[in-house]
Chain A
Amino acid sequence: MAGLRINTSLCIGCGLCVSACPQGVLVLEDGVAVEQDGCIFCGICVQTCPVQAISIEKEEVVDENIQYSGIWVMTQLRGDGSLLPVSLELLGQGLRLAQERGCELSILLAGAVDLQVQSEQLIQAGADKVYVCQDASFAIGLEEPYYTWLADMARTHKPEVILVGATDWGRSIAPRVAARLRTGLTADCTVLSIDPETELLLQTRPAFGGNLMATIISPNHRPQMATVRPGIFPLPEPIAKPKGEIIRCEPLAKIVPLLELLQCETAQSGRTLADAEILLIAGRGIGNQKNLKLMQTLAEALGADWGVSRPLVDAGWAEYQHQVGQTGSTVAPRVLLSFGVSGAIQHLAGIGRSECIVAINTDATAPIFSVAQIGIVGDCVEIIKEWLKQIEGDSTV
Chain B
Amino acid sequence: MRIAVCVKQVPSSNEVRMDPVTNTIIRDGKQSVINPYDRFALELALQIKERLGGSVVVVSMGIPATARILKEALSCGADEAVLLSDRAFAGADTLATSYTLHLGIRKIEQRLGKFDLVLCGRMAIDGDTAQIGPELAEQLGIPHITDMEELLEISQEQLVCCRLADGERQRVAVQLPVLLTVNKDINQPRLPNIEGVLWAETAPLHLWNAIDVQANLKRCGLTGSPTQVVRTQVPQRDQECKILLGSVSEQLKVLQHLLKGED
Contact = CB atoms under 8 A, between A and B. Distances in A.
A25 to B, nearest CB: 9
Contact of A47 (B20, B136, B232, B235): B232
A372 interface: yes
Contacts, number: 276
Interface in B158-193: 160, 164-175, 178, 184-185
Most chain A Cβ neighbours within 10 Å, of B98, B171, B237? B237
Contacts of A377: 243
B127 to A, nearest CB: 8
Main SS class of interface, A? mixed
Contact of B95 (A178, A258, A266): A178
B146 A258 contact: no
Contacts of A41: 90-91, 222, 228-229
B167 to A, nearest CB: 5
Contacts of B194: none
A207 B22 CA distance: 19
25 contacts: A1-B217, A1-B223, A19-B24, A20-B25, A38-B63, A48-B24, A58-B228, A84-B166, A182-B95, A184-B93, A209-B14, A209-B15, A213-B233, A214-B232, A215-B229, A215-B231, A216-B229, A335-B258, A337-B255, A367-B237, A372-B241, A374-B255, A378-B248, A383-B255, A386-B248
Nearest to A190: B235
A43 B230 contact: yes
B112 interface: no
Contacts of B95: 178-179, 182-185
Interface stretch (B39-47, B52-60, B75-83, B137-145): B137-145
Given A1-B223, A264-B171, A326-B128, 16 more contacts: A20-B25, A76-B166, A168-B147, A184-B225, A207-B229, A208-B25, A211-B16, A211-B17, A213-B232, A216-B230, A261-B172, A267-B164, A370-B241, A372-B239, A372-B241, A373-B241
A116 interface: no
Most chain A Cβ neighbours within 10 Å, of B17, B178, B223, B226? B226
Contacts of A135: none
Nearest to B15: A209
B98 A179 contact: yes
A375 interface: yes
Interface in B66-98: 87-88, 90-91, 93-95, 98
A345 interface: yes
A42 B229 CA distance: 6
B81 to A, nearest CB: 19
B227 A185 contact: yes
A21 to B, nearest CB: 8
Main SS class of interface, B? mixed
Chain A, interface residues (CB within 8 Å), range: 35 or more
B223 A168 contact: no
Nearest to A257: B143
A317 interface: no
A215 B232 CA distance: 6
Interface of A: 1-3, 16, 19-22, 24, 37-44, 47-48, 56, 58-59, 61, 76, 79, 84, 142, 144, 167-169, 171-176, 178-180, 182-188, 202, 207-209, 211-221, 258-268, 272, 278, 302, 311, 314, 320, 326-327, 334-335, 337, 344-346, 356, 358-359, 364-365, 367, 369-378, 382-383, 386-387, 390
B221 interface: yes
B259 interface: yes
B115 to A, nearest CB: 16
Given A41-B91, A171-B131, A267-B168, A214 B231 contact: yes
A2 B130 contact: no
7 closest Cβ contacts across the A-B interface?
A: A184-B226, A179-B138, A41-B91, A221-B226, A187-B129, A184-B227, A175-B134
B111 interface: no
Contacts of B93: 184
Nearest to A171: B130
Contacts of A184: 93, 95, 225-227
B252 interface: yes
A137 to B, nearest CB: 14
A32 to B, nearest CB: 19
A345 B15 CA distance: 11
B226 A56 contact: no
A314 B222 CA distance: 31
Contacts of B156: none
B233 A212 contact: yes
B129 A375 contact: no
Contacts of B237: 367, 370-371
A168 B146 contact: yes
B211 interface: no
B121 interface: no
Interface in B10-65: 14-18, 20, 22, 24-25, 27, 36, 63-64
B165 A172 contact: yes
A37 B9 CA distance: 14
Given A370-B239, A383-B252, A264 B170 contact: yes
